[in-house]
A and B are shown apart, each in its own frame.
Chain A
Amino acid sequence: MSLFTNNKTQYRLPRRDSIVLGGLSAFGLGMSDLFAARRSGDTNTAKHCILIWLDGGPSHLEMFDPKPNAPIEVRGPLESIATSIPGIRVNECLTGTAGIMNEIALIRSVTSPLGEHNFGTHYLLTGHKPTPALEYPAICSTVAQLTGQTGVLPPNIAIPRFSNTISGNGFLPPATQPFAVGGNPQRLDFKVRDLNYYRGLNLTRVDRRKTLVNAFDQFTATRDAGVDGLDPDLERAFNLLTSDDAKSAFNLSEESEDLRNRYGMGDSIGQSCLLARRLIQRGVPFVTVNSDGWDTHSNINALKRRYATDRNAKLPSFDRAFSALITDLKERGMLDDTLVVVMGEFGRTPKINANAGRDHWPRVFSIAMAGGSVPGGQVYGSSNLLGEFPHDNPVTPSDIAATVYTLLGIDPTHELHTNDGRPVRITPDTAKVINTLIG
């Protein structure tokens, strides 16, 4: 942290200038250089982040915080297993994860008051509680804003799409919005749509079209002070569709079948994680892997399997994908540069309900982190015996955001500005960095 104490004075720009720069950052001319300076001195910070977002609220009790000694109505039907770190147990389906627990830090005392999907999602993805006064940007968009465009690929990508509940960019420019690749990466014919020229068009034509739109918008901007004469999306789209190298990042068939199988071919989370690795490899700062289907109000058993040969069940699919990703990053020497975070918007009720499922429970839940400088093989905080509330070291979603920013070399007290110049800290004043997670 001390590294950044001078940061504000050093890099604080006059408000107007920083707005202009913020807008231009989409062209790769913006703040990225400034921040690169800040990053270069610190070898411990990760350059990339992969967020595995388990949408709907994964059960802490069936993943990272099993309660084998609790009564059956809390313990649930699934067993727990030992991991490579003595004393840490996880759900029986997480065999791959258990084997690499030395790389993983679990936070078992995350707590939030927000037990509704939209609110919880907003809180966890942005680090701020939602308020009607301002739409906050998601962590991924803040990172995109602060790092800028590092190459032709968008700095903020979501596979296959981002959360439905928030825009992502909040008050930041639309250019920082997550780019949704769309489709289903596990299909053999998977490709990102609209990356190739429409028949009859070529580079010259497309380039001229871009120039002409800019001409139209410039004419408008001379009349209307509220209009920006340049559309950053136009530039970004143009750069992407004219770069074969960037487009090849999305081509999963370049990977060996063996590796694709290690990530898993059943549920789309497997190939999504593999695609995330390919994007990180090409310099993308932030990739969100969105996995649906964790809102398990009934039949908690289905997390394990729904029928005898089910390969799509959520827990085994997640386990294959997550453990393959960590192992793959490690083997390629990319793990130290890449922070991997696993979370959802809340946990599930400790007591199994009448439908053999669990309902929303924000009072305590778990988050996993690996890579970057996160010291693995540890558990931070704990829940009480029945998994109802934090027993020690409670952690708020704001604390998680502050910790993720710090691990990425970003000062969590950094201020951004809304388009009318209002300063907003990237984490709330109350956010505390969890120091034991910073190596």
Chain B
Amino acid sequence: MLLTQNRVFIITCLRCILYCASIPLLANTVVAKDSSLDFENDIVAIFTKAGCNAGECHGAAIGRGGFKLSLYGGNPAADFEAIVNKLQGRRINLSKPEQSLLLLKPTEYVSHEGGAIFDMNSESARRIKQWISQGAKRVTQRKLVSIVVRPARIYTEQLGTTHQISVNANYSDGSTRNVSDWAVLEPEDNSAVESNNTTGSLTVLRRGRHIVTVRYLTIVRPIEIMVPLNSESNTEVPPVYNYIDTEINKTLQTLRIKHSAQATDGEFIRRISLHLTGRLPSAKYAKEFISSSDEEKRSKAIDTLLGSEEFNIYWSHVFSELLRIRPQALGPEGASSYFDWLSDRIRANANYKQIVTELLLSTGDAFEHGPANYYRTITDPRRQAEFTSELLMGTRLRCANCHNHPLDHWTQNDYHGLAAIFAQLDISQSVKINLDGTTIHPVTLEPAIAKIPAGKAIQTGATDPRKEFAQWLTADNNPYFAKAIVNRLWKQMMGRGLVEPVDDFRSTNPATHPLLMDALAQEFVTTNYNIKGLLKTIALSSAYQRSSAANESNKYDNKFYSHTLRTPLQPAVHADATSDVLQVAEQYGEQPLGTRAIELLNPVTQSRTLDILGRCGREDSCETGNNASSGLTKTLHFFNGGFLNSRISHTQGRLLELMQKDIPSLDIIIEYYLAAYSRFPTTEEVRFWTTQLKEQPDANQRQEFLEDFIWGLLTSKDFTTNH
């Protein structure tokens, strides 16, 4: 029932779903040097400013009311055609410019579904009138190259302050113009920042860090706004263990968020074991670690865990979810050859760049040669382009299927150009190059030209067009490749990506700590794309080693690392941790007893436990959720289902083993604390359990009490989360 994730909540590009209209290509732009208004720079900007070419109006893929404009003016040629030539040219009246439909509609002199957009006396109307009276020509003096937004960052201590934004455009001819009046300010959160697009200003309404997107024609830039959360400055600065902390502490100081104390040894060892191996430290190991007086014990523990076989098993699982390895798509033979190759790479701590290069360039029989399955996971070239961009570049190229990306620089040529590379593959049980393979570009209706995203076309006659793409993607200076994986590794360790969502890198979605993002990527590249190395750097930071215990002033912080984020155990890790504490394995489908949930290659392996806790179906990305049951359903199952009840008093379980050894009840409780929480109970906790135990005089009552204690322990928040 819960297995198929037929519609995972992924923010897809909504407008893509509507049909992509085909847009005729037009003759090249005329470049003129006179003073007449410039269609691309002066007229299209009016439509962007007024929202006429937004997705909800004429910018929709099917247009609106029979009038279609390209989204945010991404295709001025098509816009010119729509305005001047379509509808028998009725939108333009050259003899009586003020009678043009292009003016009468937005001023609502004739009825307009969108209402009155601007006034007949406005600058917008005046410009349109002037342009028409100049002959409504498609002349352009210059090409827009970039925009400069000032200020790019705003820091204010007061709410209610208003900030004027200036936008300058740089053109191909070297000229610069102030285009503030024609730029649009779009706050990510309207309740945090209010924009006034008439005056071009922003008013700050809420404390914290906010992002506003500035759009001028097709170019978008972010403004970052910081407002301290508290009035008093932090007197204390968190410790600095490495460069990560320098950046983290800077933001905490700016926003005046008080940090929590550093984690205790118990907290640390539980957290790092879960992060690096997907399992809890054993009670024995936790006890030894806590009592050790070795000053280097934390870094030694990190090394031990990174070098363990458990690390290899867990990270093979993590990467097989990212790569969506599943027998349903690949066949059991394909899935296992893929997985075997992957675990071998993880075990060797292979250079990530080499792993990806091997994936991208693989050919041959996928049942024999694991990485060739990359192209069998998703076989449609367009979907492969989307999957590749999200996984390896951390960007959503998919928005550029039907129109240029509205919040980034990606064009339809980029999208279909990447798809055209993958179209040159024949995919069956084996993957072969077929240079005759094509995919149709929806605008030209011709085979799309294979090209590097935001780069040049690939020479026809290349023996393998993927080579050039792989070289570009994995180059040390590629702006996406290292950051995309570094951000995912960071999220695994810290509970949140520096960029969220992790597959949505774009200039308008900047990292919470941009310099840190750069520095981590830099380290990753210079250390030969060393996954373990980067995990270690993160684990050694004081930010990572902070306690999760929040104070009153930082308890709502969920992205500045003032305390460690408490995150629910991933479903498979939760299931395995439960089995480990109880010392009783769980049965998964037909798998041999003792198979761990993180070792399941088939994501729909029969298991009521995973139905309840959640699972990743691997048909789509699972980075936004795992389909867990609601809290009430889960709690009812904890109470009455077999997940805990069938194993707490299992004859081979931990409880009966300890009881048979006549261990005193309080010691049994301590043992469970170590197994589940990786720490000793506090004095108050010991006092509490001692009192409770006194009320259970006979052995039978004591056993029942201990069963209930274990049930409570495994249901408690400190067990079901990593913290």
Interface positions of A (Cβ within 8 A of B): 113-119, 130-134, 154, 161-162, 164-166, 168, 174-175, 177-180, 182-183, 193-198, 200-201, 205-206, 208-209, 212-213, 215-217, 219-220, 223-227, 231, 233-234, 236-238, 240-241, 359-360, 419-420, 422-424
Contact = CB atoms under 8 A, between A and B. Distances in A.
Contacts of A182: 1, 633
B717 A220 contact: yes
Interface stretch (B5-13, B30-38, B126-134, B456-464): B5-13
Contacts of B667: none
Contacts of A131: 189
B191 A422 contact: yes
A174 B631 contact: yes
A360 B717 contact: no
A119 B191 CA distance: 21
5 contacts: A180-B633, A193-B637, A198-B641, A213-B715, A423-B191
B548 A206 contact: no
Given A131-B189, A237-B635, A240-B636, 11 more contacts: A164-B5, A164-B8, A180-B629, A194-B633, A194-B637, A208-B705, A219-B685, A220-B717, A225-B552, A234-B635, A241-B640
A118 B634 contact: no
A163 to B, nearest CB: 8
B712 A213 contact: yes
Contacts of A115: 14, 17-18
A307 B684 CA distance: 69
B709 to A, nearest CB: 6
A115 B556 CA distance: 35
Nearest to B633: A180
Nearest to B65: A389
Given A164-B6, A224-B548, A419-B556, A217 B191 contact: no
B640 A118 contact: no
A231 B708 contact: no
Nearest to A200: B645
A359 B704 CA distance: 59
B56 A113 contact: yes
A208 B14 contact: no
B115 to A, nearest CB: 12
Contact of A177 (B12, B56, B632): B632
A216 B635 contact: no
B641 A175 contact: no
Contacts of A212: 708-709, 711-712
Interface residues of B, number: 65
B551 interface: yes
B555 interface: yes
B353 interface: no
Given A177-B631, A193-B641, A205 B704 contact: yes
A118 B717 contact: no
Nearest to A292: B6
Nearest to B5: A164
Contacts of B489: none
A234 B633 CA distance: 10
Nearest to B707: A205
Given A219-B685, A225-B551, A424 B191 contact: yes
Q: Which 8 A-B pairs have the closest CB atoms?
A: A212-B712, A216-B716, A226-B550, A233-B631, A133-B189, A237-B635, A224-B549, A194-B636
B597 interface: no
A132 B188 contact: yes
A244 to B, nearest CB: 14
Contact of B206 (A198, A217, A219, A422): A422
Contact of A223 (B60, B549, B637, B705): B549
Nearest to A157: B632
A117 B630 contact: no
Given A116-B14, A132-B188, A422-B206, A217 B632 contact: no
A382 B434 CA distance: 53
A113 B60 contact: yes
A165 B7 contact: yes
B623 interface: no
Contacts of A195: 636, 640
Nearest to B56: A113
A219 B549 CA distance: 12
B718 interface: yes
A220 B636 contact: no
Interface in B168-202: 188-192
Given A154-B632, A194-B639, A213-B715, A227 B14 contact: no
A204 B443 CA distance: 70
B549 A194 contact: no
Contacts of A206: 639
A117 B712 contact: no
A282 B312 CA distance: 53
Interface in B119-161: none
B682 interface: yes
A164 B7 contact: yes
A198 B711 CA distance: 13
Interface in B533-576: 548-552, 555-556, 563, 566
A238 B639 contact: yes
B678 interface: no
Contacts of B10: 118
Interface in B639-670: 639-642, 645-646
B637 A226 contact: no
A215 B550 contact: no
Contact of A209 (B1, B555, B712): B712
A116 B12 CA distance: 8
Contacts of B228: none
Contacts of A424: 191
B627 interface: yes
Contacts of A237: 632, 635-636, 638-639
A359 B14 CA distance: 15
Contact of A227 (B635, B713, B717): B717
A205 B703 CA distance: 12
Nearest to A216: B716
A226 B563 contact: yes
A131 B717 CA distance: 30
